Structure formats: C-alpha cells, structure tokens
Structure 1
Amino acid sequence: MKRRDFLFAAAMLAPAMRQASAQQPAPKKRLAVIGAAKVEDMRIGREPNSSTFLEELQRLGYVEGGNLIVDRWQLQPGRLEEIAREVVDTRPDVIACQGTPMTLRLKAATTTIPIVAATGDPIRFGLVSNLARPGGNVTGVSVDAGIEVWAKRLELLSSAVPKLHNVVFVSSEGAWTGAGGQAVRDAAQKLGISLVRGIVSSPYGEAEFRSAFSSLQRDQLDGLILSDEGQVHVPRKPLLVQLIQQMRLPAIYPYTVFVEAGGLMSYASDVESVIHRQVAQIVEIFRGANPGDIPYSQAVRFDLVVNLKTAKELGLEMPAALVAAATTVIE
C-alpha cells in the first residue's frame, strides 16, 4: 500500500476507533467493607445500616453487580490483624470500615490503599493529626466529638439517677486502658462518680459477657455505661440488654439500637448521617480524590433517646426536663 493510501485509510478509521474506545465500559470499582453485622446480612433489605450504606452508594451512581464489586468481612475482635492483612491482600480501591481498633490495624497494614472509617475521635486515637487535611491514606467520620461526649453521657445518667455514686464501665481491656477509658475516668472524676471496671475478654462471646457480669458486685453499683466499641457490643445486643436488665441497673448506651431493644437511654450520633457522609467520601475517592485531602468529619447531631417503659420497670422516675430534652421517647 502506498504511503498516501495508508494515511487516507488511517484517517478514515480514526473516528471509528475513537468511538469504539469511548464505548468501552469504565473499570469496576472494588470496595472492601468491614462491619459488625454478619457477612450475609450486609445487603439491602437485611441489616438496616448496610441497607442505608448500599442504597446511598446506588444513589450516587455505584451499583453492586454493575460498576461496583463489594467484598465483605465481619468484624471479629480477636482477628483484627488477620482481617486487615486479608483485606489489604485483595487490593481494593477503597476500604470502608467501622471502629477505631480495626482502622488502626488497617493503617498499620497499608499506607497506600484509601481507608474510609467510622471511628471515635481520630486525633485522640492517633489515626490522623489534622481533621481538615488528614494526610496519608485515612479519612472518615468520627461518631463522637471528643471526650465531652463521654462527659455528656455520664451527666445524662446522673440526671436520670439521683445520687449516682458507683458506675461500672463495660468495655474491653484495650478500651479501659486506652484513650477512651481515660476520657471516661476523667469525666467521672469531674462528676464525683466512682468508676468500676467491667472488663469483657476476647473473643467477646456469650460466655465472656456472662462471666464479666457475674463478677460484678451488684449491690455496690447504681449505674452502668457501655463503651462505644460497636464491634464488641453490637453483635451481643440482645444478651447485653438482658444481662443489664437482670442486674436492674440504669444504663446509658452509645447506640440507639440498645434502647430500641429495651435499654434505658442512649446519647448517640445520628447513624444515618454518619453513613451518608462516609459514602460521600468513598465516592469522592472513586472519582479521583486523595483521601489525605478529604476532611475527617465529626458528627454534629447527637440524639438522646429515653425508654420510659424501662424506666418504669426499674422504678425510676425520669425528670421531666430530661424527657423534654429527648429527641425520641419510647413510651
């Protein structure tokens, strides 16, 4: 073929080649999700938070089975390092996870894969050094707003229970000795409350929770506060509420689901808004943003939920001002 004829043919083929290239589908994004729910329940129509998460991804243009691949892992407190390695080895585009302990393990396992987390105070726990510009590969949403949230929970419990003196803090050993436990102890000291250890050991199953509660001196306690370790407590929600009811202790929880299951009261961030912000950050990264440039959000809305039915069963007269201040009252 003569050079002139070759150039003519190439010029004729170029538009068709560009059109074919334009029609090539964009590569699917791969998202690794680590949550407290069972893997089989992390789907639309099963577990509520998972439904909200996946539906928000769909609303923003990322549909599982279409342009999105979702790999799922259940949080297992005794296997955090192992799970972190497994997830990183799959090389996802983004890792979405719940809980400060899991996020710390992931941060240690990779400095390149973007991590979008829902955690406690990220500065206090050493996840980032700056909220506005986190740097590195970790961003997310803080479900508390610093130690004042713990102080607020104890203040609310002391408002509900006259002459509150001895409160047990139910948590893992790591939460008791770490920054979270120190924050609770500081808040208790300011309120003149004696804080009692209620340590639950790994693997945080039914036997471990029953053992922890059986060791408590019930007649010396007049209140209970639960740590915000969702990966430890949420999977055992019915058992925890049952054990606390058996002890007939007024308790405040960091998650509304416990009050809906029969607990007395909770002071918690609005879970739906946290999920929406986390998904928005994931989508920003899918579209090319650097996680280190995405501000680490803090929850701005906290809901006080009070269960008056449980209060009545405990023989507790909830102050009218406290009930009036509640976002939701369960009769």
Structure 2
Amino acid sequence: MFSRPAQSLPAFTCRRDLGNHASVAGAKRHTEPCNLQTEDARKRRNKRKAGTEESREGTKKKRRSTQSPSAQLGQRVAIKHIPREKVFRTNVIKNGKVCELPLEVVLLLKLAPAPGSIGQTAAIALMDWYDLEQELILVLERPSPCMDLRKYLEDSGGVLEEHEAKIILRQLVAAFIEIHAKGVLHRDVKLENILVETGCDIHRFRVIDFGCGCTLEEGPYTTCCGTRLYFPPEWYEHHSYMAGPFTVWQLGVVLFTLLNGHLPFYTRTHILQCNPATNDWLSQNCHDLLQWCLAKCPEDRPTLEDLLLHPWLE
C-alpha cells in the first residue's frame, strides 16, 4: 500500500535485545509514560541473557534500534506498541544495500532532531525502537507535563477563544511546514494527534503519531489512511489528493473544532455538500480563514505558507 522507491536513511544500529530499556519489555500494550531505571535494567537484562541465548541463536530476525544517545537512563518516555500485522514497511538504502524497515520508523528518523536538540522539533522525537517477532515497539520522547489537544479542549470548557486558537494554529502551521520540508506527510491531523506541553506560560503544540504517514510526494496520492471525518472532499470524489491541500483541510477541521466545540462534518455527504455554520461571535477574519481552509476545491485552499500571511494570523 505504501510502496515507494528505496530511499537513503540516517545511520542506525542493530541490537539483539532490549539493552538498558528493560522496562519496555514489561510495559503494557498502550502508549504510556515509563521511567527507565538502571538497577532493574541490569537485573532483567542479565536474566534475559541467561535464559534466551539459545533461542537467539535459532532466530534470523534482527531487532533493530536507533540507540539514540539522548535516550538516557532515568528519562521519562512514552512507549508505543504496534502489533506486527499492523506494521507497514518500506524499502530504504543503508550502506548501499536495500533493506526493509517499518514505515513509521523511517518517517520519525527523517524528522529526527539534531544532536542535543531533543524537544525542539515540531514532531515528538523517536528515542529508540525494537522490531520484535510479535510487535514493533517505539520509545518516544514524552514532555512533562502534557496532554493531547482533545483533553486540553475539554478542560478549557469545550470551546476556545479566538486569541488562543490563533496561537495554536500559528504553531501548527509552522510545525507542518517543518514536517513537509523534511519529506513527511502526516495524513491524520486531528486533536488526538496534537500534544500540548503545558509546563510553561505559553503552551507549545507538537505533532505525534505518524502511523498513518508516508513520504512526501509532489504528485497526487491514490491511497489514504487516517480518520475519515477529517478526509477532504477530493478523496471521496476522486480517490486522490495532493499533500498540501490535504493537510490544510485537516488543519481547518481542527481549527473549526476548537472554535465551535464540535466537528464541522459528520458524514461523507456533509463533507461533499455542506458548508458548516460557525459561531456568530467569531471575527470576520476568522470566518474567512475557516472558509479558505475548508474550500471544497483543493485548488481554492491556501498553501501552508499562505496561511501564515492571512490577516487573522498576522
């Protein structure tokens, strides 16, 4: 489904066990925070080495990992478990050879921060990963404190004021300009996939979950993955779309939800035929921006760069 030409990838290393990330092996099958402790790691690793050396000799499956130097012991992280049958894979070039890697790992490596700049990128960073027989495990950066944008909206009473929604959209537009510049298309932009760092006076909004993502292409896409109520009309009409208008539409759905407390569309017919009504108290510039993002024709939508120049965001 995600067949693409092989691409070059930053260096990665291979390991045959979970190393110091012993808590990964015992974590529940949900994305959750965990603390990596040195003493427990040593004890569990020694037991695992003693008990599984024979089975390791008999398996040909490699367990690959980035072994990020930033994934230090005691650091708070999030663990994401993906059943093996749900892992999409793609070909990459490593040391002149083509090898197959999990697509989400490839995308996160494209978005990886420069050394020493964990926490500064638009996307949450991949700290480590383990390609096991039964599942793929991702060890991800976890800012603290934080919550997803859905929970943030609920805690804020279900509707945001314009000035706050403006801050969020401005940050998200800049985030997706950065993500697209690094060759990645997210395809599932929604409240649940936006993380809010709440530990400072001015909140920071970052992007998570690239499980529906793919590499950025200049031409049209003919496969789609994500949340159907966030898909643009051109997908339902022609089963194709372009990366930029697709992302702008989804950002429009996010902005509408923040300002109105509900999604703009609830069925395929609504997406194709209806223009959603907005709250009367919104400014004219805000109305104009929403209508621009949610234009039925993709050619009528702005680019991400155009959005930053709109009067509502200036």
TM-score (norm 1): 0.27
Q: Which has the larger radius of gyration?
A: 1
Identify the structure with the greater helix proportion.
1
Q: Choose between structure 1 and 2 for higher RCO, CA contacts under 8 A separated by at least 6 residues.
A: 1
